[in-house]
């Protein structure tokens, strides 16, 4: 069965109370529940993780090499700073989708730079919490060769 790893970076554990005017009021637990529902509908396995630590995210990306067919990553602010996360994604050769709740191209200039984007096959952003199930559908269709 196809297995997808969904990774969430720093501060995303505070979704629901963190800058709701930017990120909405849906919590990460709500998002995980939605993703599990979508994964069931798509008949895929899914693992959903969050860490505030760059090295932990890198270790999890390495895990994907053995156990997962695709990675969806919302790397939070590490998106804009972490060459190490970019290198980890490039090292494992697992198709990776970049995901953001907000539209990072319509915010501060420093958010326009994405190191994750340099190694991801696609980007979903600006759809808030709904972007997560959308990302699952997109990556499953990519892996099955349909898009």
Binding residues for ligand DQA, total number by CB under 6 A: 10
Bridge partners of 70, per DSSP, are 4
The verdict on 86 binding ligand DQA (CB under 6 A) reads no
The verdict on 82 binding ligand DQA (CB under 6 A) reads no
The verdict on 77 binding ligand DQA (CB under 6 A) reads yes
The verdict on 13 binding ligand DQA (CB under 6 A) reads no
Using the minimum distance from each CB to ligand DQA, give the nearer residue, 12 or 140.
Answer: 12
Phi, psi of 60 (to 5 degrees): -65, -35
Residues with Cβ within 8 Å of residue 87, at least 6 apart in sequence: none
| 120, 98 Cβ separation under 8 angstroms | yes
| Nearest distance, CB of residue 118 and ligand DQA, angstroms | 16
- Binding ligand DQA by CB under 6 A: which of 30, 42, 102, 130? 102
Retrieve residue 29's tokens. 């637990």
Closest of 95, 98, 66, 61 to residue 80, by C-alpha: 98
Of these residues, 23, 78, 80, 132, which one is catalytic?
A: 23
Using the minimum distance from each CB to ligand DQA, give the nearer residue, 2 or 11.
Answer: 11
Query: In the block, which residue shows the tokens 């994604």?
Result: 89
């Amino acid at each position: 069965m196809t297995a997808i790893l969904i990774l969430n970076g720093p501060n995303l554990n505070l979704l629901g109370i963190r800058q709701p005017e930017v990120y909405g009021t849906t919590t990460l637990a709500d998002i995980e529940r939605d993703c599990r529902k979508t994964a069931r509908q798509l008949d895929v396995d899914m693992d959903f993780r969050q860490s505030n630590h760059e090295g932990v995210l890198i270790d999890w990306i390495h895990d994907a090499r053995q156990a997962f067919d695709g990675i969806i990553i919302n790397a939070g602010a590490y998106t804009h700073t972490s060459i190490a996360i970019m290198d980890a994604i490039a090292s494992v050769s697992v198709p990776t989708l970049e995901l953001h709740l907000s539209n990072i191209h319509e915010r501060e200039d420093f958010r326009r730079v994405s190191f994750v984007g340099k190694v991801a096959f696609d980007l979903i952003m600006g759809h808030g919490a709904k972007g997560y199930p959308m990302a699952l559908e997109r990556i499953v269709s990519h892996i099955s060769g349909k898009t």
